[in-house]
Chains A and B, each alone.
Chain A
């Protein structure tokens, strides 16, 4: 088995600015890990049913369901949409054996309060479920054990706050069981068993946010993983051609391009040549901007991975394709 960049990591947290495709990357990473023969749990926490949409299955209940096998049929991917209310009731049942009081908490609106209003509690519950899945023990008899967990986490703007459950509760719960639960979660999330990967596209704002998030995560002592550059433009033109296109093709060059199109058997017209040249110049300009952002990403100083933009969009086949790319680049 070739080396991976994250041999000790069991919990892969995937975040990214809205619109960068973090859910797609999380799903692809889960498939890539499964292709190594691992049993993987892919979790989402934002109630969007993004996993179900990506894998084209019915909306997921609060239950671990197998949704895919690795490409070689060996590993498996299970999925779980973590719902804070269900997680709270499960947690109470598991640790407190509350019986009647559990139902009462629900009736008195305490569950709703805890999961929607009480600051920090929602995040403790969501990360707490990930913690539970990563540390299956005697409390949860017969539960499946996972080699790896991939968490499709909240976006970069909120990721540090989300994972830093300790600080969130700090001003609030100084002692008590919820406090010790938060401490245990924090120990896992700050350990070498965890890596927080950030997804970006090569545009100014997402790259800036990624760099900011890396700083914030480090300040919070959370382990930064890799940066995944998603939706990268195709690298179809070499630098010489890009320069030629940006300088503007002369009449002679256009004629030679027409002749080449003829050799390609393409029915061409002056309009088509014009379109192709415009598309090429546009592409070259964007590539310049991307290159500038690319070097900023490199300057962040963490391993980077790069996924192509799939012109047909990301369907299930596309996910397997992206999984292969991540694996080949050593992300798992």
Chain B
């Protein structure tokens, strides 16, 4: 992969003319036996989950043994994949064509359960029970904004180990949580583990370990103030939690580090998913630059829901001029013609705007291979729909 070695730093606007991006060869990506992990990331609402599922299905029907980890699929899509029940275990997807010798399992992430399992695997049964019952733990494990990202990475690490040990899977496709920003996916684990190692934890642990002389007036003042603001009960819960959790921190940090390394490994590929809208393309640009900064292997960009240039060579202006001329007529054919011309003008404008956005991205990131997916008329909620998306993704001529 030459492209991934060259990096994807932004290129100044003078460095290249506006251009079209090189086409992404999805099938080459899926067929590469060294490719063990594909991560789909991007802003919320751009079709990440559907893209992940479509890619996983296509890989399976081309002979890979695939497991897809989804975060929050649409209900009917989840039902058709047989994962309507959230049980944190991969299940075979019914209806996958077995001809090429591949298979497809799917699972939906249960964030709290994944967290609980990590605690149970790291601590003695008594200690685990103590942690799981702590109010502070319950709150962190079910509502902390970064927990979902962290647990998605944790689950990926587990699936990877499982795949290597049992040989049950040779490709893991991961959907990422619908975060505020696509970057949260990369940042949350670091944030959590830096917190676990941070000054604040030492502060809470200070009375429990460490000599009394370290208890400077600063510590006392800070804990006193905190008790005043959040209440002594919360502080006590937190101390209990931290003390019980203390021995697990090292393990958590090591796991987060291993998963991060897994993401940087050669066998991993990131697909950045976007829609041709300013916000989503800007997010995609940030993400591409960030991946490059972290030496993470980027396979390319998928632009969903793109409008395609209509044949017939009629500009928006010419179409609207035609609408003007027909405005006074109440003949049925004229009304139909005027309506169609207005629709056409809108579509041409949308295509122009989207082309500008994609051109800007390609100019700033000329090495990023891109697949463009035309907007579909309806929602996708079955394997046939996913298969169709897979075909469109692979066919980028």
Contact = CB atoms under 8 A, between A and B. Distances in A.
A171 B139 contact: yes
B229 A18 contact: no
B225 to A, nearest CB: 4
A73 B311 CA distance: 45
A8 interface: no
Contacts of B144: 117, 119
Interface string A32-65: 0000000000000011101001000000000000
Contact of B326 (A179, A260, A269): A260
B45 A260 contact: no
B353 A313 contact: yes
B335 to A, nearest CB: 7
B193 to A, nearest CB: 11
B46 A19 contact: yes
A264 B339 contact: no
Interface stretch (B9-17, B109-117, B343-351, B359-367): B343-351
B349 A264 contact: no
B222 A122 contact: no
A257 B135 CA distance: 70
Contact of B314 (A234, A257, A272): A272
B72 A280 contact: no
A271 B321 contact: no
Contact of B343 (A47, A268, A280): A280
Contact of B347 (A119, A260, A279): A279
B234 interface: yes
A176 B230 contact: yes
A174 B232 CA distance: 10
Interface residues of A, number: 82
B86 interface: no
A161 interface: yes
A275 B343 CA distance: 11
A256 interface: yes
B50 to A, nearest CB: 10
A313 B278 contact: yes
A142 interface: no
Nearest to B225: A101
A282 to B, nearest CB: 6
B275 A117 contact: no
Contacts of B76: 204
Contacts of B253: none
A101 to B, nearest CB: 4
Interface in B39-85: 43-46, 72, 74-76
A250 interface: no
Contacts of B333: 256-257, 259-260
Contact of A18 (B178, B282, B318, B345): B178
A121 B43 CA distance: 25
A148 B136 CA distance: 36
A19 B45 contact: yes
Interface residues of B, number: 85
A90 B229 CA distance: 14
Contacts of B200: 108-110, 112-113
A282 B230 contact: no
B199 A264 contact: no
A310 B338 CA distance: 19
The secondary structure that dominates the A interface is: helix
A168 B326 CA distance: 60
B278 to A, nearest CB: 7
Contacts of A283: 343
Nearest to B376: A286
B192 A117 contact: yes
B336 A119 contact: no
Contact of A208 (B75, B311, B331): B75
Contacts of B138: 171
Given A116-B191, A264-B322, A277-B340, A271 B312 contact: yes
B312 A236 contact: no
Contacts of B335: 238, 241
Interface string A93-112: 00010101100110111101
Given A116-B195, A234-B342, A260-B326, A178 B313 contact: no
A101 B322 CA distance: 72
Given A19-B275, A175-B233, A264-B323, A237 B336 contact: yes
A265 interface: yes
Contacts of B339: 236-238, 241, 280
B135 A260 contact: no
A40 B151 CA distance: 40
A28 interface: no
Contacts of B198: 109, 112-113
Given A266-B314, A272-B312, A279 B74 contact: no
A203 interface: yes
A96 to B, nearest CB: 7
11 contacts: A50-B279, A109-B203, A116-B191, A116-B195, A172-B139, A173-B231, A173-B233, A265-B325, A274-B312, A311-B346, A311-B350
